[in-house]
Structure 1
Amino acid sequence: MPPTTVLAYGHPKGGTPSMLAAPLVALDLPLRVLVRVRDDGQTVIAFHPIGAMLRRSGVPNALADKLDAAQQILLKAVSP
């Protein structure tokens, strides 16, 4: 198996209000990002966009937008 890492992340200040607004969100928390090396040597990142997932679950847009912004910061930090 090529080098592969799953990063799990979250914080009660973001997750708790989300779960209070839509309890089934707890099935997807903590969030995860997959970082792996493909057979051709290229590093790729895979993740589920948190904003879209939260909106589908009924979380208010303001909260979904806030967590989406936080996810973007993390993705920039782990991008090759």
Structure 2
Amino acid sequence: MTTNNGIISQSSPYSVGETIDRLVAVLQAKNITIFARIDQQVEAEKVGLSLRPIQLLLFGSPKAGTPLMVAEPTIALDLPLKVVAWEAANDKVWLSYNDAQYLKQRFSLSDELVKNIDVIAPLIHQALL
């Protein structure tokens, strides 16, 4: 696992698609809403461009996110939560997401509020087992 500029990246032993599939299953089991899944490789191909496998997943809970947006409306730039699974040039797959502590600092969130979004790491751990 690496952290760079508030982004945490964790390697995945699965393909990009399977990594996102596994995370979706964990999120759905926890009744967390999946707002969108974007296959950016497919979208690039639609315009004649080439891109390594990469998929973006937007998910969250209005119950958890709304209090954050009430306190700091601009956090809506980073909500719903997002993860991106991507394949590096060496064929290694990574799953990357914003560090909740980075978002806490960026938006001056209280410890109590940041708990609403500090959920990604355990969910990813469960998905990658």
Q: TM-score, normalised by structure 2?
A: 0.54
Figure out how many residues of one structure are paired with residues of the other and give that number.
Answer: 79
The structure with the larger Rg is: 2
Deviating beyond 2 angstroms after TM superposition, the runs of 4 or more aligned structure 1 residues are: 77-80
Q: In 1, Cα distance between the equivalents of 2:55 and 2:127?
A: 11
Contiguous gaps of at least 5 residues in structure 1: none
1:25 aligns with 2:75: yes
Matched, 1:62 2:125: no
CA RMSD across the alignment: 1.8
Structure 2 counterpart of 1:58, which letter? S
Which is helix-richer, 1 or 2? Answer: 1
- CA distance 1:24–1:13, change in 2 (3 Å): same
Q: How many angstroms does 1:44 deviate by? A: 0.9
**Quick one: structure 1 residues 7 and 77, their matched pair in 2 at CA, closer, same or farther if it must change by over 3 Å?**
farther
Instruction: Determine what percentage of the aligned residue pairs are the same residue.
Output: 28
How much has 1:78 moved relative to structure 2?
4.2
Give the match for residue 54 of structure 2: 4
Structure with the higher fraction of residues in strand conformation:
2
Q: Which has the higher contact order (CA 8 A, sep 6+)?
A: 2
Give secondary structure in 2 for the equivalent of 1:29.
coil
Unaligned runs of 5+ in 2: 1-50
